[in-house]
Structure 1
């Protein structure tokens, strides 16, 4: 590596690390504020919060890398241009593209590392993040009783104290007990003082009450005339109530397998498997739509069938063959395991005899010989035991089979009528149809069938649309692993030439321009993904939409930086306007 490459790369790495930490911290703060009310105030240990923050830092890193590359590359070349180092490099015969090469190689390696992180590291971190975040949400708030305020954190109890003395002391205590599932304040406890302190490794909480009274009233049954309900009043000098905090205030960790279906925790190979499964479900729904439509229109499908399209039938046959092959493999595995288990239990050892008696298996332990041919011969069923033989009558009359044969022969010999119906026959048929309301029944049946078919199609269509939306979301999650990595290179193409053009370092103009471009990038990303989710555009185009929009700007800035264009100086636009005016005047002169 040449000294120039070391100089440029060394001036880039420092701002890159600094901006990456700052951007990651900003995005972390935004994410933490989103869940602030749900994760804080639960009395968790420092290490639980540190674990959650660590997961958040890794999961938001793919979004922080493009902004860090944009800002750091802009600051690097802005500093080089501000101190005339970039001018010295160009004057020595080194082009701008050659000066961009060391940082470009680093950004390409960084993009590849970002792809590997998105595909392998981030899904595992997202799995742990979802699991821990859900457990924190489900945990009850910490046991913290405030004076003058009812505390309802303990299930089934509502506690109020007028004054707290020290760490555990309480004074003027009021407790409503709803532990039995009763609504209303029917079980009330009053006490002058008390103590609330944990014990047994803080798994239980003991509430000691002194000099109080307890009132309890049974619930009255409404609508039934009966005697007044029982009311009891008890006085006590000391009373103890123990609360189990294991299930209420302890953080119970959920198994990570419960989140195995979320697309955010899958890598590309697992997403492809999910896409294939969703595609199978969609194809099955479309196939059964045709099958169910035949039952709604029996007259239409009497001599013709509603056949699905060839692509649906082809996918259906492939899915059925895959299912049957999977079932055969599972059955063969279960049979082999059952056979091995049976042989180990019933026949500890055996000897197979070769030669003419090869059909005989001898079990030496029990001295039992079994002839295979004899077993096969004994398993045959005689014709007299057939279940399909028709019973004969005892009086030698014709059997049922003979009667059916004679009827079929008579029908075969009968000649179909080819003559047209007479007027009398038509009038009889019409009178029968009108008198028995056949026309009204046919219309009613047709309307009912149409409504039933429409409702079925609406339900199936909704199911197919939901599955297709999930299919598109899986595709978006797949393509995002590439687009977020490619965004680093796109931001480098924008930031480095812009720094060479504006020739301003520090945290002033570079930060402002970086924020503007990042906001535009974020808005374009959200817009493209929304279009892809709704099916307006292809998911591949929707996820690459932001990169496709910003890439021309990067190429334009590279072209202008090679020409030392002064895009951010007023003289550039004044000269451009004067040039347009001169061209317009020349065109007018040529026309005259």
Structure 2
């Protein structure tokens, strides 16, 4: 590395680290303000808050990196231009692009590191962030009983204290207990004074009451003629109530598997699996539309079928084969597991010896049982059962019945059916037509057709809603996939804007660079939100929607690089005055030629 590269890179690293910390802190503050009321005031340990803040810092780093690169590159080249170091570099024969190379290489490496962080580190941190944030939200506020106000933080109890004495002393106590009945204030306790203090590592709270009365009334039974409810009044000099605080005021950590379906905690390979699963669901809904529609048109589909599109059939066959292989694999695993368990449970002492007499007895019993079954089956053949038999079975059954009738000295009568070949008479046609017209078959057919059409419409609407929801999830998964690339590329796009702008402005510090950086970052953020919204709603392709902000800002960066190479004075008034004068001269020339 040459001395020039060390100079430029050294002047860039300091502002970059400083601006990254400042931007990360600003974004952290904005993020924490969303959950301020939900996470503070619950008596949590200091390290719990530090853990949550650490997770937030890592999760918002991909958003802080582009702004940090933009601001630090502006400050670096602004300082070089302000102190005429950039002019000295150019006068020595070194081009602006050569001066941009060390920081450009660093930004490319930083973009690759940002991609690795988005794909591997940030998903794991998001998983822990969601889990911890949910647990903090579900935790009850810290035990803080105030004088003159009902406190219902302890489940099943509502406590009011008119005066607090010291740290644990209480006076004029009123307690409504809803733990036993849960229907109204049927259990009331009054006490002159008491003490509430924790014990057993603050896992339990002991409330000692002195000189009080407990009123208890049974729940009202249904019915007017029921007996009056029992009402009990108990006086006491001292009474102790113990509250279990483990499940109420302690932070219970939820298993991280509960968030396994969120796309923010998945890397690219897991997102691809999710996209494949959603695609299978969409294809299954489309295939079911054809199957359900076929049952609505029984006359049309009597000799034909609704054939789905070729791509739907191919995806259906692929999903079915995968499902079959998975079921076969699971079945093989279960069979091997059962085999291992059965082999482990076998005891040699319980094995039966195959004796000849037992085998003979069992063979005899089996033969007797089989004979009984055959006799029973043959005796149960009747004319009503023949309706459910095949033609060959019917013929065999009739033969057996004829043999049985012959044995019983009865002569079977053979009935011969002669098919009719004559045409229908007018009277017969009128009778058939009357069955359709007089019995309302036409009206019933119309009603059935309307019901079928309404059922088909409702089915299609339901399926379309489900398909739209699946497709929306599909697009969101695609956006999460492409974001891992676009957020990393944004660092390089911001460098192309910030470095040449600093060379053009030639002002360092935190004045003009901060203002310009904020403007471009706001534009970048607005374009990013707009593109992602278009992609979520299906207005544009998710690939274009996620790259929309970078595609819009990249021409600005190339334009600023071109102007910086020419030492253009874009932020000076004389530059625009000279442009206006040149435009006026051209108009005068055109007018003179016209005259």
- Provide the TM-score with structure 1 as the length reference: 0.88
Question: What corresponds to 1:534 in structure 2?
Answer: 537
Question: What corresponds to 1:393 in structure 2?
Answer: 400
How far, CA to CA, are the matches of 2:253 and 2:425 in structure 1?
Answer: 85
Question: How many pairs does the alignment contain?
Answer: 560
Change (3 A) 1:336 1:217: closer
How far, CA to CA, are the matches of 1:398 and 1:327 in structure 2?
Answer: 54
1:287-298 alignment runs, 5 A limit: 287-298=287-298
1:8-19 alignment runs, 5 A limit: 8-19=8-19
How far, CA to CA, are the matches of 2:559 and 2:404 in structure 1?
Answer: 102
Tell me how far 1:324 sits from its aligned partner: 1.3
How far, CA to CA, are the matches of 1:367 and 1:526 in structure 2?
Answer: 79
Conserved 8 A contact 2:191-2:213: yes
What SS does structure 2 have at the residue aligned with 1:215?
A: strand
Tell me how far 1:182 sits from its aligned partner: 2.9
What SS does structure 2 have at the residue aligned with 1:248?
A: helix
How far, CA to CA, are the matches of 1:198 and 1:114 in structure 2?
Answer: 48
Tell me how far 1:255 sits from its aligned partner: 0.8
Structure 1 runs not aligned, ≥5 long: 349-364, 370-378, 400-405
What SS does structure 2 have at the residue aligned with 1:198?
A: strand
Question: What corresponds to 1:20 in structure 2?
Answer: 20
Cα deviations by residue, 1:196-242 (Å, 9 ceiling, x for unpaired)? 11111111000111122222233434661445433332222211110
Tell me how far 1:158 sits from its aligned partner: 1.1
Tell me how far 1:327 sits from its aligned partner: 1.9
Question: What corresponds to 1:353 in structure 2?
Answer: none
Question: What corresponds to 1:571 in structure 2?
Answer: 574
What SS does structure 2 have at the residue aligned with 1:393?
A: helix
Question: What corresponds to 1:496 in structure 2?
Answer: 499
Question: What corresponds to 2:114 in structure 1?
Answer: 114
Whether 2:279 is the aligned partner of 1:279: answer: yes
How far, CA to CA, are the matches of 1:337 and 1:151 in structure 2?
Answer: 55
Change (3 A) 1:385 1:272: farther
Conserved 8 A contact 2:181-2:219: no
How far, CA to CA, are the matches of 1:181 and 1:279 in structure 2?
Answer: 51
What SS does structure 2 have at the residue aligned with 1:183?
A: coil
Whether 2:460 is the aligned partner of 1:457: answer: yes
Question: What corresponds to 1:581 in structure 2?
Answer: 584
How far, CA to CA, are the matches of 2:429 and 2:227 in structure 1?
Answer: 81
Tell me how far 1:185 sits from its aligned partner: 2.6
Question: What corresponds to 1:136 in structure 2?
Answer: 136
Conserved 8 A contact 2:282-2:467: yes
Tell me how far 1:24 sits from its aligned partner: 0.6
How far, CA to CA, are the matches of 2:425 and 2:524 in structure 1?
Answer: 82
How far, CA to CA, are the matches of 2:354 and 2:400 in structure 1?
Answer: 48
Question: What corresponds to 1:171 in structure 2?
Answer: 171
How far, CA to CA, are the matches of 2:210 and 2:310 in structure 1?
Answer: 82
Change (3 A) 1:426 1:546: farther
1:541-556 alignment runs, 5 A limit: 541-556=544-559
1:9-88 alignment runs, 5 A limit: 9-88=9-88
Tell me how far 1:438 sits from its aligned partner: 1.4
Question: What corresponds to 1:99 in structure 2?
Answer: 99
Change (3 A) 1:575 1:20: same
How far, CA to CA, are the matches of 2:503 and 2:568 in structure 1?
Answer: 10
Question: What corresponds to 2:385 in structure 1?
Answer: none
The structure in which a higher percent of residues are helix is 2
What SS does structure 1 have at the residue aligned with 2:402?
A: coil
Tell me how far 1:181 sits from its aligned partner: 3.9
How far, CA to CA, are the matches of 1:397 and 1:571 in structure 2?
Answer: 123
Conserved 8 A contact 1:140-1:248: yes
Conserved 8 A contact 1:156-1:181: no
Tell me how far 1:575 sits from its aligned partner: 1.4
How far, CA to CA, are the matches of 2:322 and 2:493 in structure 1?
Answer: 43
Question: What corresponds to 2:232 in structure 1?
Answer: 232
What SS does structure 1 have at the residue aligned with 2:248?
A: coil
Conserved 8 A contact 2:67-2:521: yes
What SS does structure 2 have at the residue aligned with 1:210?
A: strand
Question: What corresponds to 1:203 in structure 2?
Answer: 203
1:425-444 alignment runs, 5 A limit: 428-444=431-447
Question: What corresponds to 2:412 in structure 1?
Answer: none
Question: What corresponds to 1:351 in structure 2?
Answer: none
How far, CA to CA, are the matches of 2:251 and 2:591 in structure 1?
Answer: 81
1:105-504 alignment runs, 5 A limit: 105-221=105-221, 224-342=224-342, 390-391=396-397, 392-396=399-403, 428-504=431-507
How far, CA to CA, are the matches of 1:86 and 1:410 in structure 2?
Answer: 114
Change (3 A) 1:256 1:577: same
Conserved 8 A contact 1:162-1:173: yes
Tell me how far 1:124 sits from its aligned partner: 0.5
Cα deviations by residue, 1:504-537 (Å, 9 ceiling, x for unpaired)? 1111111111111111111111111111111111
Tell me how far 1:570 sits from its aligned partner: 1.2
Question: What corresponds to 2:411 in structure 1?
Answer: none
Tell me how far 1:187 sits from its aligned partner: 2.0
Conserved 8 A contact 2:191-2:212: yes
